[in-house]
C-alpha cells in the first residue's frame, strides 16, 4: 500500500500532500519557509518559528516553541485507559487516564481538522531502538518540518532484521494548529499528548510543539513494551571500554549523565535512553538532546563543536540583542540567557560524537552507576551497593534542586523521581527495579551510588565535588578497584557502604563528615536528608511493591 493509502487507512487522512522522508537539507529549508505559529505570549499565530544562522544550511536550525510549551507538558500527558491495559499502568499526575471513547472522538476531530486545512504534512519514517530484537518502526506525521528533522536526528533510519514493519509500526500525529476543548474532549487544556497502546498511535494536539515530545513520548511507549518482553528499558547513558566492559549511568538532569559517559577512553553507546536484553545493551536513539543553558564549552567540547554543524537543531536560545539570527554565528549565542526558558536544548546526531560504539550497542554492563547530585553536601561521594541497595536507590531516584533554579526556591530541595525518570515509566517502578536487580545479579555487575554534588557543606556555602575526583571514583569503579580492595565502612546515618580508599583520591574526600567544619551541623543535615528518603519511600508505597527499606 502506498503512503497516502496507508495513512488514510490508519488515521483517516485524505486530500493532503505528504512530504515523505525528505533529506535534512530539504527539511531545513521547509522549516524556514513553512513552520509558523505562536512564539510569544499574546503574539500572533503565524510568526516564523525557524531561523538559519550565519552558517545557513551548513549550520544549525534555530527553532522557537510556543511560550507555554518550553518543556514536556507533563500535566497534559495521557494514556488511553483501555480495560485490558488499565491494571498494568502506573497512573500518576504526569501519565493520566484518558477515556477510550473520548480519545477516539478527539482523534476524529483532529483528522477532520487536517483534512479540512489540506495543504501538506511531513512524514518521517525512523525506528525506536537500535537492536532488532525489540526495535519498532516509528512514523512521524506532523505539521512542522522542524519536528520531522528532529525525528531524523534522534532515531535510527534503518535497523536490519526488523520484520513485519507494518504490523509493528507506531504512528505519531502531531498537529499544533488544533485547539482542544476540555469540556468536549475530556482533557485539561487546549493541548493533549495521548498514547494509545492498543492501536499504536500517539496523538499530539494543540500547543505542544516542544521537540522533546517527539522523543520522550515514544520513549514512554518503549518503556511499556520492553518489560513485557522481559527486557529492561532505562533512562541512562551507556559506554564501553577497550576491554568490552560496558557501563550504564542513571541520573536526573544535572547529575553528570552526559558528561561522565563522554570519555575519550571509552566508546559512547548513548547518552539518554538504553535497552538491556539477553544479549546486552543498546541505544534506543541515534541522536543526543542536550541542555545548553550555561554550557561550558571547554568542559563539553563535543556539544560546542556540534553547534556549528549542519543538520542540528537549537531550541529556544534567544537571539542576540539588535542582531538578526541570520547574521549570528552559532558560537556567538548567549547560552546564559534563560529569558525564554532555562530548558534551552540542542539536538544533534550521535555521529557528532567522535567515539561511538559500532551499532550503538555493547555487551552486558559490568558496572552500573546511579548518579545523584546532593546539594546538601552530606551523602558520601561514592558508595558500593548490593542488590537490595540497588533496588532501593534506583526506585527512589534522588537528586537535589538548587536554590535559584526555580522561582521561589531559596534553598536546596530534595527531588525524587522513581527509576530516574518517573514521568516516562508507565509500569509500576518495581517492574523496572526487579528487572535491574535480576540482570545485575545474573551478569555479576558491580553497582555504585556516585554523588557528583557538594562537599564540606551545602550548595552556596561549599564547593562542588571536583570533576577530577568524580572521574577518579568512576574509573576505580569501572576497573573493579572499589569492590575488590581496600575495605568498606558502613555510614552510620545512610546505611551505605563507603570505600576506605580510592586510587587518586585523598582519603578525607571519601568521608563526607570529615569535610565539614561543624560536625553537629553535618549530623543534623544528614538526618534530615535520611528522613526525606524515608518519607518519600512511605509516601510512594514502595514497601508494598516488594522493595526493602535499606535506609
Q: Catalytic positions, please?
A: 72, 216, 235, 253, 257-258, 272, 345
Q: Where are the beta strands (DSSP E) in 108-156?
A: 120-128, 136-142
Cα–chain center distance at 218: 11
Cα separation of 290 and 102, whole Å? 36
- How many other C-beta atoms can be found within 10 angstroms of the C-beta atom of residue 264? 7
Q: Residue 292 corresponds to which cell in the numbers above? A: 545548553
Q: Residue 289 corresponds to which cell in the numbers above? A: 538532546
Q: Residue 377 corresponds to which cell in the numbers above? A: 553536601
SS (H, E, C) 305-369: HHCCCCCCEEECCCCCCCCCHHHCCHHHCCCCCCCCCCCCEEEEEHHHCCCECHHHEECCEEEEE
Torsion, Cα 329 331 332 334, to 10 degrees, reads 130
Cα separation of 185 and 108, whole Å? 11
Helix H or strand E encompassing 234 = strand 232-240
Residues forming a β-bridge with 274: 234, 283
Closest CA to 250 of 401, 369, 367, 364: 369
- For 186, 337, 481, the CA distances from 249, given in Å and listed in that order, are 39, 29, 18
Query: Contact 362/512 with Cβ under 8 angstroms?
Result: no
Cα separation of 337 and 334, whole Å? 6
Closest CA to 276 of 227, 331, 315, 207: 227
R_g of the chain, CA atoms, integer Å: 23
Q: Residue 389 corresponds to which cell in the numbers above? A: 541497595
Cα separation of 356 and 351, whole Å? 7
Task: Provide CB contacts within 8 A for 408, sequence distance 6+.
Answer: none
Query: Contact 16/114 with Cβ under 8 angstroms?
Result: yes
Amino acid at each position: 500500500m502506498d503512503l497516502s493509502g496507508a495513512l488514510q487507512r490508519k488515521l483517516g487522512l485524505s486530500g493532503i500532500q505528504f512530504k515523505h522522508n525528505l533529506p535534512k537539507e530539504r527539511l531545513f529549508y521547509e522549516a524556514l519557509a513553512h513552520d509558523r505559529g505562536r512564539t510569544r505570549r499574546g503574539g500572533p499565530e503565524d510568526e516564523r518559528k525557524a531561523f538559519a544562522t550565519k552558517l545557513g544550511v551548513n549550520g544549525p536550525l534555530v527553532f522557537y516553541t510556543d511560550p507555554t510549551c518550553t518543556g514536556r507538558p507533563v500535566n497534559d500527558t495521557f494514556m488511553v485507559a483501555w480495560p485490558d491495559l488499565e491494571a498494568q499502568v502506573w497512573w500518576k499526575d504526569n501519565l493520566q487516564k484518558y477515556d477510550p471513547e473520548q480519545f477516539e472522538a478527539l482523534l476524529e476531530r483532529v483528522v477532520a481538522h487536517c483534512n479540512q486545512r489540506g495543504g501538506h504534512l511531513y512524514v518521517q519514517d525512523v525506528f525506536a531502538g537500535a537492536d532488532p530484537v525489540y526495535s519498532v518502526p516509528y512514523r512521524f506525521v506532523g505539521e512542522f518540518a522542524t519536528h520531522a528533522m528532529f525525528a531524523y536526528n534522534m532515531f535510527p533510519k534503518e535497523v536490519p532484521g526488523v520484520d513485519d514493519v507494518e504490523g509493528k509500526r507506531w504512528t505519531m500525529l502531531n498537529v499544533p494548529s488544533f485547539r482542544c476543548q476540555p469540556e468536549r474532549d475530556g482533557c485539561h487544556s487546549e493541548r493533549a499528548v495521548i498514547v494509545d497502546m492498543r492501536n499504536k498511535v500517539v496523538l499530539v494536539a494543540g500547543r505542544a510543539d516542544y521537540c522533546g515530545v517527539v522523543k520522550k513520548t515514544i520513549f514512554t511507549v518503549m518503556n511499556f513494551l520492553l518489560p513485557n518482553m522481559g527486557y529492561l528499558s532505562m533512562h541512562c547513558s551507556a559506554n564501553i571500554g577497550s576491554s568490552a566492559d560496558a557501563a550504564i549511568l542513571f541520573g536526573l538532569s544535572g547529575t553528570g549523565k552526559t558528561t561522565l559517559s563522554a570519555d575519550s577512553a571509552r566508546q559512547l553507546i548513548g547518552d539518554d535512553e538504553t535497552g538491556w536484553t539477553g544479549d546486552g545493551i543498546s541505544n534506543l536513539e541515534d541522536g543526543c538532546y542536550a541542555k545548553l543553558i550555561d554550557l561550558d564549552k571547554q568542559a563539553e567540547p563535543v556539544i560546542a563543536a556540534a553547534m556549528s554543524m549542519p543538520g542540528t537543531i537549537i531550541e529556544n536560545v534567544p537571539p542576540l540583542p539588535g542582531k538578526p539570527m541570520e547574521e549570528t554565528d552559532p558560537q556567538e549565542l548567549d547560552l546564559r540567557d534563560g529569558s525564554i526558558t532555562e530548558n534551552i536544548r540542542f539536538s544533534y546526531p550521535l555521529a557528532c560524537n567522535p567515539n561511538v560504539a559500532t551499532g550503538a550497542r555493547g555487551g552486558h554492563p559490568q558496572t552500573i552507576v546511579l548518579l545523584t547530585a546532593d546539594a546538601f553536601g552530606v551523602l558520601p561521594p561514592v558508595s558500593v551497593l548490593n542488590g537490595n541497595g540497588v533496588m532501593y536507590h534506583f526506585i527512589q531516584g534522588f537528586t537535589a534542586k538548587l536554590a535559584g533554579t526555580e522561582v521561589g526556591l531559596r534553598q536546596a530541595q530534595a527531588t525524587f523521581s522513581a527509576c530516574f525518570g518517573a514521568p516516562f515509566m508507565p509500569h509500576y517502578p518495581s517492574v523496572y527495579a526487579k528487572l535491574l536487580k535480576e540482570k545485575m545479579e545474573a551478569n555479576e555487575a558491580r553497582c555504585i551510588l556516585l554523588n557528583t554534588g557538594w562537599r564540606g557543606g551545602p550548595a552556596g556555602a561549599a564547593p562542588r565535588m571536583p570533576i577530577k575526583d568524580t572521574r577518579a571514583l568512576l574509573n576505580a569503579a569501572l576497573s573493579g578497584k572499589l569492590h575488590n580492595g581496600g575495605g568498606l565502612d558502613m555510614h552510620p546515618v545512610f546505611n551505605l557502604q563507603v570505600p576506605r580508599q580510592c586510587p587518586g583520591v585523598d582519603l578525607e574526600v571519601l568521608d563526607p563528615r570529615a569535610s565539614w567544619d561543624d560536625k553537629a551541623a553535618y549530623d543534623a543535615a544528614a538526618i534530615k536528608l535520611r528522613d526525606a528518603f524515608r518519607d518519600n519511600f512511605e509516601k510512594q508505597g514502595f514497601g508494598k511493591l516488594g522493595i526493602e527499606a535499606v535506609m
